[in-house]
Amino acid sequence: MDEKAFIFAAQKGDLAAFNQLVRAYQTLVYRTAYRVLGEGASAEDATQDAFISAYKHIREYRGGSFKAWLLRIVTNACYDQLRVKQRRPSASLDAMLIDPDNPAPGADRAAPESPQEFAERQELGETIQRGLATLPPDQRVTLVLADIDGFSYDEVAAATGANVGTVKSRLSRARSALRDFLMTQEELLPSRYRLNNG
Amino acid sequence: MGNGMPDRNNSANEHVWVEERLSAYIDDQLNPLERAQLERHLRDCARCQASLASLRWTVSLVKQAPAPALPRQFTLPLPAATPSTRRAPAFGVGLARLATVVATLLLFAVVTVDLLTRLGGGFAASAPAPAALRAVEPTSVALAPSSADETKRATPTASPERLLAVPPAPIAPTLTSPEVTGGGSAASETPSPKFATQNAVGTRTVQRTQPVSPRASATPTVTIAANAPSAALAGTATQTPEARATATPPTVVEARVQPTAAPLPSRPEVATSPLAVSPLRVAEIGLFFFMVFFGALTVMLWRRR
């Protein structure tokens, strides 16, 4: 049963079919929410809210990229969570739990990661997460979708409701800002992640 | 310039222009003209080359960032049961309701028939010869002045003055005491359980001093109450085959004085045992339980919907 069949069944009210879609996209959705929101509890809330909202409005889905349609809902849920966090500032970034079986999307891993490499990568992740937290929400969402989730400009534009030109601009500013942040933190990064080593 | 390329004479503006497009350049999102102009600038500008390298490094680091582990499954909870299994089928409720209605109507019909039978049949059963009943009634009262409660607690040891006789049907002659002799005094004076044929309601005493006429045997109210203290009454009773009947038949003691008495034609014992289960009563009870059962089933199925 392919994705379209699950979507069609879910539009008919088949919750089991919708849950198949949830299983297919929950990692992506949670990862995006986590990167945008910076901590697990809010990311869980945003992910759950996004799937509930998607199920409620799945009849409004009119074709196209289901992933982009779903990410649009996720980003809106993240914005809602950010508004909540602005009203009620909570604790800082919590320690990120890394899934050893699910490495970073861009990471090419021919060999298993050693414990030291795993720890260094976790440290890198925490540094990046702190840098993401310095970005405005729009730039953060754009950078997460483009560089972490690996979406194209068109998909990012569809997910954020912006045009491609805006996506380019936001992504450029986001990368520049994050680069500046990382360069200030370079000495704290593991040696293999430093710019001069790159 | 059509593509927005700044004037080369303005170096600061050119650096800004390149810097703004480095991100798109990394992703190969520039049109060919912009790409050519940017690459031309990069060849001569070490500052922009360094900026490009640091930007690529940033993107590379972001892509190497570890993915957070999924804390839990986000599948939406399914209902306890799907509607098709949780809800009782509509036709099931309809059938249960129909069965309840049918059972109720049948019960009503049977009760009605039963009541009509009892009212009409009561006269017919207790007085196939209404004239005889009417004629006997005063005597019955005289014979049983305290018939109501006395007959209720009548036992085989009932006193002679409580002798009542209301057999709607002639009793088959069963000799229970050969030593009992006529006059009715034996049965009444020595009321012994062995002389009594006790049914669920009470006992019935019958003293037969002479052969019962065919007419009397055909009449349900043939039996006679013989009372020791009232010989005249007893005599009257024995002389009147039509006998005496009271409205309360519970106590009957049979005392046949003549073992050789001609047997009376047997009749159904419908009226001799008022609590005997008649077919109508069985139908009433059965229909009642059917009605209750299907009513409860209907309510249960309706709630499950």
- CB burial readout B240-256, b (16+ within 10 A) else e: bbbbbbbebbbbbbbbb
Q: What is the pLDDT of residues A81-127, one digit of tens each?
A: 988 877 765 544 444 555 555 555 444 445 567 788 888 888 888 89
Question: Mean per-residue pLDDT for A125-132?
Answer: 91
Q: Are residues B205 and B235 in the same domain?
A: yes
Backbone φ and ψ of A164, nearest 5°:
-65, -35
Residue B107 lies in a domain: yes
Residue A111 makes CB contacts below 8 A (sequence gap 6+) with none
Of B171 and A131, the one with more pLDDT: A131
Q: Are residues A131 and A198 in the same domain?
A: yes
Mean pLDDT taken over chain A: 85
Q: Are residues B144 and B267 in the same domain?
A: yes
Nearest to A125 among B57, B66, B76 (CB): B66
Residue B6 lies in a domain: no
Structure tokens at A50: 């996004």
Three-class DSSP category at B97:
helix
Residue A83 lies in a domain: yes
Q: Are residues B30 and B152 in the same domain?
A: no
Nearest chain B alpha carbon to A109: B64
Residues B288 and B104: their CA atoms lie apart, in Å, by 7
Residue A177 makes CB contacts below 8 A (sequence gap 6+) with A131, A134, A135, A139
Provide the 8-state DSSP code for B213. P
Residues B282 and B280: their CA atoms lie apart, in Å, by 5
Cβ separation A98–B66 shorter than 8 A: yes
**Domain CATH number, residue A160:** 1.10.10.10
Structure tokens at B145: 């002045």
- pLDDT of B48 reads 93
Q: Are residues B173 and B298 in the same domain?
A: no
Q: Are residues B253 and B136 in the same domain?
A: yes
- pLDDT of A172 reads 95
Residue B111 lies in a domain: yes
Cβ separation B20–A172 shorter than 8 A: yes
Distance of CA B272 to the CA centre of its chain: 31
Residues A74 and A90: their CA atoms lie apart, in Å, by 21
Residues of A within 8 A of B76 (CB-CB) are 15, 18-19, 22, 51-52, 55
Q: Are residues B185 and B265 in the same domain?
A: yes
Q: How far from B254 is each of B73, B194, B198, CA to CA, in Å?
A: 88, 10, 9
Q: How far from A171 is each of A36, A138, A147, CA to CA, in Å?
A: 14, 9, 9
Residues A66 and A85: their CA atoms lie apart, in Å, by 28
Nearest chain A alpha carbon to B53: A195
Which of A36, A48, A97, A180 would you mutate first to test chain B, the one with the most B CBs within 10 A?
A97
Distance to chain A for B24, nearest Cα, Å:
6
Is the CB of A122 inside 8 Å of chain B's CB atoms?
yes
- A139, pLDDT greater than 90: yes
Residues of A within 8 A of B27 (CB-CB) are 146, 153
Q: How far from A136 is each of A5, A20, A94, A132, B62, CA to CA, in Å?
A: 38, 34, 20, 8, 17
Burial class (CB in 10 A: 0-12, 13-18, 19+), B223: buried
Q: Of the candidates B195, B189, B198, which has an alpha carbon nearest to the alpha carbon of residue B226?
A: B189
Q: How far from B275 is each of A14, A125, B202, CA to CA, in Å?
A: 62, 92, 11
Provide the 8-state DSSP code for B257. S
Report whether B155 contacts B210 (CB < 8 A): no
Which of B62, B64, B70, B73 would you mutate first to test chain A, the one with the most A CBs within 10 A?
B62
Q: What is the pLDDT of residues B76-87, one digit of tens each?
A: 987 754 444 445
- pLDDT of B223 reads 42
Distance to chain A for B90, nearest Cα, Å:
21
Residues of A within 8 A of B69 (CB-CB) are 97-99, 102
Residues A117 and A145: their CA atoms lie apart, in Å, by 25
**DSSP bridge pairs for B208:** B256
Structure tokens at A82: 């950010």
- A188, pLDDT greater than 70: yes
Q: Are residues B248 and B287 in the same domain?
A: no
Distance to chain A for B66, nearest Cα, Å:
5
- Spans of chain B, pLDDT less than 50: 1-2, 81-86, 124-271
Residues A66 and A69: their CA atoms lie apart, in Å, by 5
Q: Are residues B265 and B239 in the same domain?
A: yes
- pLDDT of A122 reads 85
Structure tokens at B134: 């009417």
Q: Mark which of A89, A121, A138 sits at the end of a domain.
A: A89
Cβ separation A121–B21 shorter than 8 A: no
| Helix/strand/coil percent split, chain B, to 5 | 50, 5, 45
Q: Are residues B238 and B143 in the same domain?
A: yes
Nearest to A107 among B24, B63, B68 (CB): B63
Q: Of the candidates B185, B275, B178, B264, which has an alpha carbon nearest to the alpha carbon of residue B223?
A: B264
- Number of structural domains (chain B) is 3
**Domain CATH number, residue A6:** 1.10.1740.10
- Number of structural domains (chain A) is 2
Parent domain of B96:
88-126+275-305
Q: What is the pLDDT of residues A146-183, one digit of tens each?
A: 999 899 999 999 889 999 999 999 999 999 999 999 99
Nearest to A147 among B29, B63, B74 (CB): B63
Q: Are residues B265 and B297 in the same domain?
A: no
**Residue ranges of chain B whose CB lies within 8 Å of a chain A CB:** 19-24, 27, 29, 53-55, 57-76, 78-79
Residues of B within 8 A of A96 (CB-CB) are 66, 68
Residue B150 lies in a domain: yes
| Helix/strand/coil percent split, chain A, to 5 | 70, 0, 30
- pLDDT of B284 reads 86
Residue A98 lies in a domain: no
Three-class DSSP category at B205:
strand
Residues A68 and A55: their CA atoms lie apart, in Å, by 15
Nearest to A104 among B22, B65, B70 (CB): B65
Q: What was the ipTM of the complex prediction?
A: 0.84
Give the residue carrying structure tokens 């800004």.
B16
Cβ separation B68–A43 shorter than 8 A: yes
Q: Mark which of A55, A89, A123 sits at the end of a domain.
A: A89
Residues A85 and A74: their CA atoms lie apart, in Å, by 16
Cβ separation A153–B72 shorter than 8 A: no
Three-class DSSP category at B206:
strand
Cβ separation A104–B64 shorter than 8 A: yes
Cβ separation A30–B68 shorter than 8 A: yes
Q: Of the candidates A156, A154, A161, which has an alpha carbon nearest to the alpha carbon of residue A144?
A: A156
Question: Mean per-residue pLDDT for A30-45?
Answer: 92
Cβ separation A107–B20 shorter than 8 A: no
Residue A35 lies in a domain: yes
Nearest chain B alpha carbon to A99: B69
Q: Residues in chain A, how many?
A: 198
Q: Which of residues 55-114 of A touch B (CB under 8 A)?
A: 55, 96-99, 102-107
